[in-house]
């Protein structure tokens, strides 16, 4: 069974992380893993040199990133695009079996939350799986908690996930690595999207963004928003 996340023509060019070039198992050697990293880095940076700084403010742009979705938490709660209004969202599409880009990004997000201190309460990271076959609620729960319990993993039916990915212009496609049902990897775009407390897209970070940059950008955005007073429903936890 195969599914594809559709790539809207107007979407940001996808930074595709070519996981099919790497080992299919998580039990490979360190050397293989390092080689995989090197290949992945080449793929990412060679394919999207212009996207290392995509501050892409969308106001006035025809491109709309983010939109209605219905997904579920690992606890079985249904969530939609409305659920997290009032929070700054960090949205990332990936899967728990991902050998590099997902663990790397989630680690940076977890570190960014620590850097933000109390302001992290105003941020909600969402890790949306593109692998509904293997990412069961239990697997997702365990995975996101291993980075930071504040990261929420979202699952859904293949249709729900494809729809959510489409709203964000996220790309993913499965590649078989063997004949077994679970012998596959998923190439996927690696943007980390930032949505404001009103649910509007603010910017996207390309793969490789550091925790410090994520934290600094969020601080800046929060300060700007409270300065402008244009986001009345930001949870007024505190600021510093
Ligand atoms: Cu990944």
In a domain, 121, yes or no: yes
Confidence band, pLDDT 50/70/90 cuts, at residue 55: very low
Whole-Å CA distances, 240 to 122, 162, 237: 12, 38, 10
In a domain, 239, yes or no: no
> What is the average pLDDT score of the chain?
79
Q: Residues within 5 Å of ion ligand 1 by Cβ?
A: 94, 98, 101-102
Mean pLDDT of 1-26: 41
Which residue carries 């996808």 as its tokens?
A: 14
Confidence band, pLDDT 50/70/90 cuts, at residue 45: very low
Q: How far is the CA of 239 from the centre of ligand 1 (A)?
A: 32
Q: Which of 85, 90, 122, 83 is nearest to 107 (CA)?
A: 90
In a domain, 4, yes or no: no
Res. 41: pLDDT tops 70 = no
| Distance of alpha carbon 129 from alpha carbon 1, whole angstroms | 17
Mean pLDDT of 137-144: 97
In a domain, 75, yes or no: yes
Q: How far is the CA of 102 from the centre of ligand 1 (A)?
A: 4
In a domain, 101, yes or no: yes
Which ranges in 53-100 belong to alpha helices (H)? Answer: none
Q: How far is the CA of 134 from the centre of ligand 1 (A)?
A: 14
Confidence band, pLDDT 50/70/90 cuts, at residue 64: confident
> Could you read off the pLDDT of 200-222 as tens digits, one per residue?
999 999 999 999 999 999 999 99
Q: How far is the CA of 139 from the centre of ligand 1 (A)?
A: 15
In a domain, 62, yes or no: yes
Q: How far is the CA of 88 from the centre of ligand 1 (A)?
A: 22
pLDDT at 85: 96
Asked whether the beta carbons of 151 and 107 are under 8 A apart, the reply is no
Residue partners of 136: CB distance under 8 A and separation at least 6: 155
CATH of the domain at 217: 3.40.30.10
The boundaries of the domain holding residue 152 are: 16-228
Confidence band, pLDDT 50/70/90 cuts, at residue 62: low
**Domains identified in the chain, total number:** 1
Q: How far is the CA of 95 from the centre of ligand 1 (A)?
A: 6
Res. 24: pLDDT tops 80 = no
In a domain, 181, yes or no: yes
Which residue carries 């004949």 as its tokens?
A: 179
In a domain, 237, yes or no: no
Q: How far is the CA of 231 from the centre of ligand 1 (A)?
A: 32
Q: How far is the CA of 18 from the centre of ligand 1 (A)?
A: 9
Res. 1: pLDDT tops 70 = no
pLDDT at 8: 39
């Amino acid at each position: 069974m195969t599914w594809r996340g559709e790539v809207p023509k107007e979407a940001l060019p996808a930074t595709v992380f070519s996981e099919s070039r790497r080992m299919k198992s998580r039990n490979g050697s360190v050397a293989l893993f390092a080689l995989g990293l090197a290949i992945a880095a080449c793929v990412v940076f060679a394919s999207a040199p212009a996207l290392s700084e995509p501050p892409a403010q969308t106001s006035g742009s025809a491109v709309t990133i983010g939109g209605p979705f219905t997904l579920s938490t690992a606890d079985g709660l249904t969530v939609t695009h409305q659920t997290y209004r009032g929070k700054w969202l960090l949205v990332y599409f990936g899967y728990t079996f991902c050998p590099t880009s997902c663990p790397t990004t989630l680690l940076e997000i977890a570190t960014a939350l620590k850097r933000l201190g109390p302001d992290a309460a105003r941020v909600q990271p969402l890790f949306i799986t593109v692998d509904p076959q293997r990412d069961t609620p239990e697997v997702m729960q365990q995975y996101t908690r291993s980075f930071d319990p504040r990261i929420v993993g979202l699952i859904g039916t293949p249709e729900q996930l494809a729809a959510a990915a489409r709203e964000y212009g996220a790309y993913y496609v499965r590649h078989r690595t063997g004949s077994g049902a679970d012998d596959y990897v998923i190439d996927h775009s690696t943007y980390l999207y930032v949505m404001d407390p009103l649910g509007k897209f603010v910017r996207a970070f390309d793969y490789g963004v550091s925790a410090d940059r994520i934290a600094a950008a969020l601080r800046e955005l929060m300060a700007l928003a409270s300065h402008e007073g244009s986001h009345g429903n930001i949870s007024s936890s505190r600021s510093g």
